[in-house]
Amino acid sequence: MRRMAILCSGGDVSGMNAALKRFVEYALMRRIEPFFVYDGYEGLIDGRIVKAGYEDVARILTLGGTNIGSARSKRFMEASYRAQAARQLQKRGIEGIVVLGGEGSFKGMQLLHQEHAVAVAGIPSTIDNDIAGTEYCLGVDTALNTVKCQIDAVRDTAASFRRAFVIETMGRECGYLALVSALTSGAEMCLIPELPYDLQAYEARFKRQLQEGRRYFIAVVAEALKKTDEIAAWFASRIGVESRTVVLGHTQRGGNPTVYDRITAFRFVTRAVDELLRNRSGVVCLEGSALTYKKVEDVAFKPYRISEELLALWE
């Protein structure tokens, strides 16, 4: 294999640019011609594929997001457009492709592999951390540090008033981001899809704490529950404290990537390129401190669950 490409698909995460840098530099070290696919599968269909070099990855390591763009492609769900994408690769002599994305992106690359014999390697990249088979996805540590800073800042103002702040985190249908953020910020309440909760029990506890001198509350709520405004109203009506909502939104996706996300990007990409050189298609996963390489069907087609050990830390 003499030519490889890399693309970003779905939501962007901090650490993608670190992955691009490592891809170009490692590929050249292995005497492989590296190519960038701009704007995900959309760019692959339309042939926005450009040979990359050292100058393309200079000074991008510290940047959040992705310099080559990303997209969610409805067209790629159709076989005719996947065939067009495969022709774009074949025309340029590209035999393997690295895909940074989530489960939907991996399902797409699996079809490309099955239908057109393109070698594919996936790198889990989503702040939701909701991909089966891997304990960690690229971008999560940076997102968690962003949330931590935001909650710490909110706590400063919360402590100045007798108020409750209800903070909504991203995570799609997964409560990982909310749970870890609540645990590590000392929040008084954490509501996620994976854990049942009893508002009556919270009410009794919080009223008792107010009598004992507590002045404020921090609640972290996963976006999947769609309960942020409801919980804020609950604090006002049942606990008797003024409340505010803070929706962190897309601030969680951006920002200067942490050291952990940078080195993880390097590790993921190195393994992906090595596996493609062996003509092995799959997804690079992280279990504990070790990298593994799994079949796409064992990652993209299985449900993700937060570990029982982590859930038990809140219970």
Domain boundaries, the chain: 3-139+257-306, 141-252
Q: Name the pLDDT band for 315 (thresholds 50, 70, 90).
A: confident
Burial (CB count within 10 angstroms: exposed 0-12, middle 13-18, buried 19+), residue 92: middle
Residue 311: what residue type? Answer: L
As its CATH architecture, domain 141-252 has 3-Layer(aba) Sandwich (3.40)
Q: Which fold has domain 3-139+257-306?
A: Rossmann fold (3.40.50)
pLDDT at 174: 97
Q: Please tell me the distance from the alpha carbon of residue 168 to that of residue 84, in angstroms, as a whole number.
A: 41
- The pLDDT score that the predictor gives to residue 285 is 98
What confidence score (pLDDT) does residue 241 get?
95
Q: Which of 61, 69, 67 is nearest to 9 (CA)?
A: 69
Averaged pLDDT, 37-56: 98
Task: Answer yes or no: same fold for 3-139+257-306 and 141-252.
Answer: yes
Average pLDDT over residues 259-288: 98
At 191-222, the pLDDT tens digits run 999 999 999 999 999 999 999 999 999 999 99
Q: For 56-94, what is each residue's pLDDT tens digit?
A: 999 999 999 999 999 999 999 999 999 999 999 999 999
Active-site pick, 12, 39, 56, 128: 128
d(CA 54, CA 67): 14
128 has catalytic annotation: yes
Q: The tokens of 170 are what?
A: 């991203």
pLDDT score of 236 more than 90: yes
Q: What is the pTM of this model?
A: 0.95
